[in-house]
Chains A and B, each alone.
Chain A
């Protein structure tokens, strides 16, 4: 049976409760960075990805990677639909610390893929290959995103320190 998404094969069920508890915050953080601080979209993408994964739970071989990829897709769609130049600067994150606000402002200057790769690698602590699986892109591409993202962040945050 040929499937568009390689992971959709009939497999054993997973303990979705514990997957949800363990991964929920990580997915949300990643989406928050990926969307450049759009907490509303991050929340929706996180929730919808888990909800779809749960509905598909018997068919997922690697649910965590699947959930991340679904969340990236959903967030991409939402951001695209929601693009309004004048409001991009707004963050809806409640109770954000000043450090976080600064960080998100800096992250926003990166491309979405750079942000996602950086967050998965340096906040999530994942190996490059695992980052690639969760983003649904190749490992060399992840390395490029990581390299450019690091370089960019380094410049951005250094500049801000000098200010």
Chain B
């Protein structure tokens, strides 16, 4: 006798794939669609690498997550301010102006300040996209299409037609400035760098995204949004649907688009040509900035994902000295970060609930006079990911003799006890003593336990660059050559983020402005050979979790000459350039 669940499952047999799948398959794999690069990847540094996001796999972007790393910039919106602080050299701060315009205030490493529009000047088919700031490479990048600009807003590379639009401003006393009117964008000039979108190879997880809009300000009905007359930017969520003659922003899953609003200023013919037969251009979850013009929306601007929302903070742990009880939260998502606890007494079960706070309040409240609890936490308030990768020495300097000594704060249980606190910039350590006057012996005991605090091992930072190298640089056909190098892709705090990656070594690929390495990916154009013969992948290596990689191949039977070797880091559908090398083939 079959059970109900088995019978019910048969309902699924009626399901057929929609016809639109056929058209979509005929279009081939995604390569030139709006590419939102994976936020999970990060490279600690990558001197010789060039990188762009290819084959972005995304229908959907989550934007303006309330838990992003710039809560200070989220005020009532619009209703930001035109008076903004001047950031320190090498920093860029995202902000929303009084009219809701997204901008960056940036101070270059040389100390010059600029106010730049956060809207990319590359707007294919009339759709605008926001850019992000890459602290490592000191560039602005369009994570959708890979355009890049210097910190000054000057064009660097990629498809953008101009530099970023600058705003006039006046400097005010007290390290502030008042933003004026937008000026005209500087002309493009020559492409001096490779296209990006991945922060020059560093990955987007460190990218500083434009300032967020509070969720309450995001309108869910495009039609209702157009009924409120305003000259400011509005934020609206919806699915962009296009036909060859019109475009509409639609609410939710309603394909009839009853609460939708027309969108003007788009090249609908160009957009529909992208879709061949379909009308859906984005997921319904996209969040857009736009201006209202009559019953329509104009200046439609896509907002990229807030990468910080996907960061998992590194799981700290105490290896623990004998007699201590230890607990760790494991890898925790924002906004709490990860925490590890050690205590001389057993933790109260109430503190171990899944949604427990970052400190064990019940255990603290009942701590005996000789009891100690050490807590350590990594989280957004302790470490700003835009500062770069979490360095291997991030646990240095946790010295209780230099700790701030205080009583309980409002978030801690009341009582007459002492807290020692050390924020070292990466980790926040708090030590709770069961007494108001902890003895030197108790502090030493706490320090011994604190010294067992650990983070998972990280790949060492290479002394040179992350560029790959060759075991020999020249030789006749048949020469065995090993290509090797350090692996630079790491998670936010040194853990390995991408499980399955592969290094591919390509032979004889002519790489220049018109022949990008994207040609080497499935679905790309036919790659152009640099010399006679063909472009071939000569070897590859899995770099799953490793800190270095190497792969060996035999030089093909080719005429003498200089042959380029291109290294590609392939991860699922996307890839990144891993550097270029040259091999000199000598006569046999």
Binding site for B on A (CB under 8 A): 1-5, 20, 24-25, 27-29, 32-33, 39-41, 43-44, 46-48, 50-52, 54-56, 73-74, 77-78, 80-84, 87, 90, 92-93, 97, 99-100, 102-103, 106, 118-119, 122-123, 150, 153-154, 156-158, 161
Query: Chain B's nearest CB lies how many Å from the CB of A95?
Result: 10
Taking a contact as CB atoms under 8 Å apart, the answer to whether A28 and B12 are in contact is no
Taking a contact as CB atoms under 8 Å apart, the answer to whether A78 and B58 are in contact is yes
Query: Chain A's nearest CB lies how many Å from the CB of B60?
Result: 4
B residues within 8 A CB of A100?
A: 11-12, 14-15
A residues within 8 A CB of B36?
A: 81
- Specify the chain B residue showing the minimal Cβ separation from A33: B12
Say yes or no for B9: interface residue by CB 8 A criterion: yes
Closest 3 CB pairs of A and B: A28-B17, A47-B24, A4-B502
A residues within 8 A CB of B500?
A: 4-5
Taking a contact as CB atoms under 8 Å apart, the answer to whether B15 and A84 are in contact is no
Taking a contact as CB atoms under 8 Å apart, the answer to whether B9 and A122 are in contact is yes
Taking a contact as CB atoms under 8 Å apart, the answer to whether A103 and B14 are in contact is no
Contact with A along B1-23 (1 / 0, CB 8 A): 00111101111111111101110
Taking a contact as CB atoms under 8 Å apart, the answer to whether B522 and A52 are in contact is yes
Could you pull out 27 A-B pairs where Cβ atoms are within 8 angstroms? A4-B542, A4-B544, A5-B500, A25-B15, A28-B17, A28-B18, A28-B21, A29-B12, A33-B12, A48-B573, A51-B27, A51-B28, A55-B28, A55-B522, A77-B38, A78-B58, A81-B62, A81-B305, A82-B59, A82-B285, A93-B15, A97-B11, A100-B12, A103-B8, A103-B12, A106-B8, A156-B5
Interface hits, B483-542 → A, CB 8 Å? 500-502, 522-523, 539-542
Give Cα A29 to B15, complex, Å.
Answer: 6
Say yes or no for B358: interface residue by CB 8 A criterion: no
B residues within 8 A CB of A93?
A: 15
Query: Chain A's nearest CB lies how many Å from the CB of B291?
Result: 26
Taking a contact as CB atoms under 8 Å apart, the answer to whether B12 and A32 are in contact is yes
Give Cα A51 to B33, complex, Å.
Answer: 14
Query: Chain B's nearest CB lies how many Å from the CB of A67?
Result: 11
Taking a contact as CB atoms under 8 Å apart, the answer to whether A154 and B62 are in contact is no
Taking a contact as CB atoms under 8 Å apart, the answer to whether B13 and A47 are in contact is no
A residues within 8 A CB of B28?
A: 51, 54-55
Tell me whether A52 and B573 are in contact in the complex, defined as CB-CB below 8 angstroms, given that A4-B540, A150-B5 are known contacts.
Answer: yes
B residues within 8 A CB of A3?
A: 502, 540, 542
Give Cα A35 to B3, complex, Å.
Answer: 24
- Specify the chain B residue showing the minimal Cβ separation from A39: B18
Give Cα A42 to B310, complex, Å.
Answer: 22
Query: Chain A's nearest CB lies how many Å from the CB of B207?
Result: 16
Apart from the given pairs A4-B501, A84-B62, 10 other A-B contacts in the complex at a CB distance below 8 Å: A2-B540, A43-B17, A48-B30, A51-B29, A74-B573, A81-B62, A82-B59, A99-B11, A103-B8, A161-B4
Give Cα A41 to B57, complex, Å.
Answer: 11
Taking a contact as CB atoms under 8 Å apart, the answer to whether B15 and A32 are in contact is yes
Tell me whether A48 and B57 are in contact in the complex, defined as CB-CB below 8 angstroms, given that A29-B12, A55-B522, A123-B9 are known contacts.
Answer: yes
Say yes or no for B137: interface residue by CB 8 A criterion: no
Query: Chain A's nearest CB lies how many Å from the CB of B2?
Result: 10
Query: Chain B's nearest CB lies how many Å from the CB of A35?
Result: 12
Taking a contact as CB atoms under 8 Å apart, the answer to whether A25 and B62 are in contact is no
Tell me whether A1 and B540 are in contact in the complex, defined as CB-CB below 8 angstroms, given that A50-B25, A119-B9, A153-B5 are known contacts.
Answer: yes
Tell me whether A122 and B6 are in contact in the complex, defined as CB-CB below 8 angstroms, given that A25-B17, A92-B253 are known contacts.
Answer: yes
Query: Chain B's nearest CB lies how many Å from the CB of A109?
Result: 12
